[in-house]
């Protein structure tokens, strides 16, 4: 809970291009004529991770388009990816030799706080997964599939952890410390 908000601030201060895997999937879902719309909706509602072929092609296209429009814009803040082993393999296959991963910014937050924030957001977000049932499933997916990927990056010394249970401003202060040091 809160990574979208923090990413917007990082972009503002450090000039990264923000690419949210979730946002890209939601855009693709609502694109008229998308062959993946229904599949994406089912995965999102169930809190499951969409097959990487779909997600990586959306990410890669967005990165390529950004750099084609302005070759200086080659620093990306990729939000919500990789979320599982399949995501990681897809990334390695597609991006090997093309992209360097500087670090993984991990917004560490108590599950109940996350659920509370998303339920609050759900009052106006219109998101089909901001309800308690989907949120419980998302937490399950996180523990089962995402946490092991974070642990893997941790062992490579690539994780920068922020306590995301604090206020937006306090969390951002922490984020700034990290980016000032290595952004
Ligand atoms: O990151 P965000 O909360 O926007 O993700 C919402 C949902 O989008 C996830 O619960 C998942 O269903 C889907 N998603 C995915 N693969 C990703 C990122 C998000 O399938 N890499
Ligand atoms: Mg988001």
Evaluate: CB of 85 within 6 angstroms of ligand 1. Answer: no
Q: How far apart are CA 34 and CA 18, in angstroms?
A: 23
Domain 3-182 fold is Rossmann fold (3.40.50)
Q: Is 87 annotated as a binding residue?
A: yes
> What contacts 77, CB < 8 A, 6 or more positions away?
7, 10, 11, 16, 17, 18, 19
What does the domain layout of the chain look like in residue ranges? Answer: 3-182
Tokens of 97: 């030799």
Evaluate: CB of 25 within 6 angstroms of ligand 1. Answer: yes
Q: Is 155 annotated as a binding residue?
A: no
pLDDT, tens only, 135-153: 999 999 999 999 999 999 9
Full-model pTM: 0.95
Cis status, amide bond into 120, omega within 30 of 0: no
Q: Is 51 annotated as a binding residue?
A: no
| Percent of all residues in the chain with a pLDDT value above 70, rounded to a whole number | 99
Evaluate: CB of 91 within 6 angstroms of ligand 1. Answer: no
- pLDDT value of position 2: 86
Q: How many residues does the chain have?
A: 183
């Amino acid at each position: 809970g809160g990574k979208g908000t923090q990413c917007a601030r990082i972009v503002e201060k450090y000039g990264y291009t923000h690419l949210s895997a979730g946002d890209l999937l939601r855009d693709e879902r609502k694109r008229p004529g998308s062959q993946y719309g229904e599949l994406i909706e089912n995965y999102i509602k169930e809190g499951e991770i969409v097959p990487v072929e779909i997600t990586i092609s959306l990410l890669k296209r967005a990165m390529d388009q950004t750099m084609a429009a302005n070759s200086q814009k080659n620093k990306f803040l990729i939000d919500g990816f990789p979320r599982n082993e399949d995501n990681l393999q897809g990334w390695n296959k597609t991006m090997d030799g093309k992209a360097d991963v500087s670090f993984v910014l991990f917004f560490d937050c108590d599950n109940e706080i996350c659920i509370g924030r998303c339920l609050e957001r759900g009052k106006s977000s219109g998101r089909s997964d901001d309800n308690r049932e989907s949120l419980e499933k998302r937490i399950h997916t996180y523990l089962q599939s995402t946490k092991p990927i974070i642990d893997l990056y941790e062992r490579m010394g690539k994780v920068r952890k922020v306590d995301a249970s604090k206020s937006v401003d306090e969390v951002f202060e922490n984020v700034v410390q990290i980016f000032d040091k290595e952004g």
